[in-house]
Amino acid sequence: MNIREFCASISATLLLSLPVSAQTWVNNQAPATIVELFTSEGCSSCPSAEKKLNTLKEREELWTKVIPLAFHVDYWNYIGWKDRFSKREFSDRQRIKVAKRQAKGVYTPGWFINNQEWRGFFARHPIPFLSGSKAGELKATLENNQVTVNYDQPEEYSVNIALLAMDETTKVTRGENTGRKLDHDFVVVDFATYSGKQKWQHNLPQAMSAEPDAIAVWIESAGNRDPIQTVAGVIAK
């Protein structure tokens, strides 16, 4: 193991040091568009896709009208470089989307706009996003490494909770991106989905591949590709 790989292994067991005091994010207006990019540090065509996703960081509509997420998959790790952000569950998430006919195949870079495959990236189209109709109040609270989500509507929903790392950099020494320095934003470092009504709780793991800088939560219902409601924002430190 060389020094870079050793440092990567250390970062993969990074202990959380999130603030203890409670932070709360609330949205009672329209839901944002959910943009998911399935990517890998071992994929030579992924850096340009991530660069495009990263441009959303400077948009005024970030978090309120568009929520970007970069899911790093593990199915390219075998070709010479192990992506420190990759998880099997993220690869499985992409495969499930294909099984649900939300996409025609599993590949990177793979884009989804509100659970629907988007191939506009390959035609150099801008990332599309629009606000939906005004919805109920969705609230997410982070305190003592636990996320509590409340939604004021009585129906049963699925809630997705993602912790995101920003401003991450990796120097790749093997594989298809050998010699490149990759800049990452919106990296999903923790993700969970729960079903139920009105209140959900999620305990953050003791270690993540990077310190989270933002949180994203969105509510879905069966048969509806668009999110019912969303809330997201930066974690103050």
Q: What is the mean pLDDT of residues 48-74?
A: 98
Average pLDDT over residues 23-39: 98
Q: Which domain range does residue 150 map to?
A: 3-234
pTM summary value: 0.92
Say how many domains are in the chain.
Answer: 1
Contacts of 36 (CB under 8 A, 6+ apart): 69, 71, 111, 112
Checking if the pLDDT of 222 tops 90, the result is no
State the alpha helices, DSSP H only, in the chain: 3-11, 46-54, 88-99
Which pLDDT band, with edges at 50, 70 and 90, does 4 fall under?
Answer: very low
Mean pLDDT of the chain: 93
CA pair distance 225, 113, nearest whole angstrom: 9
pLDDT of 86 over the 50 cut: yes
Distance CA(202)–CA(143), nearest Å, equals 11
Average pLDDT over residues 105-122: 97
Look at residue 11 and tell me whether its pLDDT is greater than 50. Answer: no
Closest CA to 148 of 104, 200, 193: 200
- Average pLDDT over every residue of 119-128: 96
Q: What is the mean pLDDT of residues 193-197?
A: 97
